[in-house]
Amino acid sequence: MTEKVEITVNGEPTTADVEPRLLLAHYLRDVVGLKATNIGCDTTSCGACTVLLDGESVKSCTVLAVQADRQSVTTMEGLSPDSEHLHPVAAAFRAEHGLQCGFCTPGMVMATVGLLSENPKPTEREVREGLEGNLCRCTGYHNIVRAVLAAAGRDPREAEDKPAELAAPGFSTGSSE
Ligand code: FES
Ligand code: FES
């Protein structure tokens, strides 16, 4: 059994007949063919699959494609179509070296856009708390926090004075995730 979905992706209408169990992450990658949305766990743990769903950041492995029917999704491709047209958050990640292998980066950037839309001037602690659902296996948290602070118009050096909180795997110590 399949169901027809109509999902606007990066401003473009898409439609397909999908199995009700199909995850939005797989819809974006395998049906629409947009590969920037990475899948690191499939179990809501890593945040690599984060996209914007009607402007709110969500982990697309926790959303069924049928749940996104008639809604609007933005992926990294829509946010920053190429290196000449980087979204300010993506530009801040580049400027502050907020990536290493880059696998977590699309999810980090999308989660940051969601965070800043709710809290345009987060403190260093609010950045860590806001992104603690996104994991970086390269443990590049320090520069990621710098990048988010820079994107928010804050001094990225605010990230310098909390070295004890930079330990992997989370953004903040004591996380019970
Ligand atoms: S792939 Fe979705 S949270 Fe890891
Ligand atoms: S930059 Fe490699 S996983 Fe984050």
pLDDT tens figures, 37-86: 999 998 999 999 999 999 999 999 999 999 999 999 999 999 999 989 99
Q: Is 40 in the pocket of ligand 2 (CB under 6 A)?
A: no
Reading phi first (left if > 0) and then psi (alpha if -120 to 50, else beta), residue 112 is in alpha
Same domain, 95 and 54: no
Query: Looking at the domain assignment, is residue 83 inside a domain?
Result: no
Q: Which domain holds residue 27?
A: 3-77
Same domain, 121 and 67: no
Same domain, 56 and 98: no
Same domain, 140 and 164: yes
pLDDT tens figures, 111-137: 999 999 999 999 999 999 999 999 999
Residue 29, helix vs strand vs coil:
helix
Q: Separation of 5 CA from ligand 1 center, angstroms?
A: 22
Neighbours of 129 (CB within 10 A): 16
> Which of 38, 110, 131, 136 maximizes ligand 2 atoms within 8 Å of its Cβ, making it the mutation to test the pocket?
136
Q: Separation of 35 CA from ligand 1 center, angstroms?
A: 14
Cis peptide before 169 (omega within 30 of 0): yes
| 35 contacts 29 by C-beta, under 8 angstroms | yes
CATH number at residue 159: 1.10.150.120
At CA 30, angle to CA 28 and CA 80, rounded to 5?
40
Assign 174 a pLDDT band (cuts: 50, 70, 90): very low
Give the number of the atom of ligand 2 that is nearest the alpha carbon of residue 102. 1
Q: Which two tokens stand for residue 108?
A: 């980090």
Query: Looking at the domain assignment, is residue 176 inside a domain?
Result: no
Tell me which of 42, 77, 112 is where a domain ends. 77
Query: Looking at the domain assignment, is residue 113 inside a domain?
Result: yes
Q: Is 64 in the pocket of ligand 1 (CB under 6 A)?
A: no
The count of structural domains within the chain is: 2
The pLDDT, as a whole number, for residue 168 is 42
Q: Quote the pTM value.
A: 0.91
**Residue 26: closest CA among 81, 16, 136:** 16
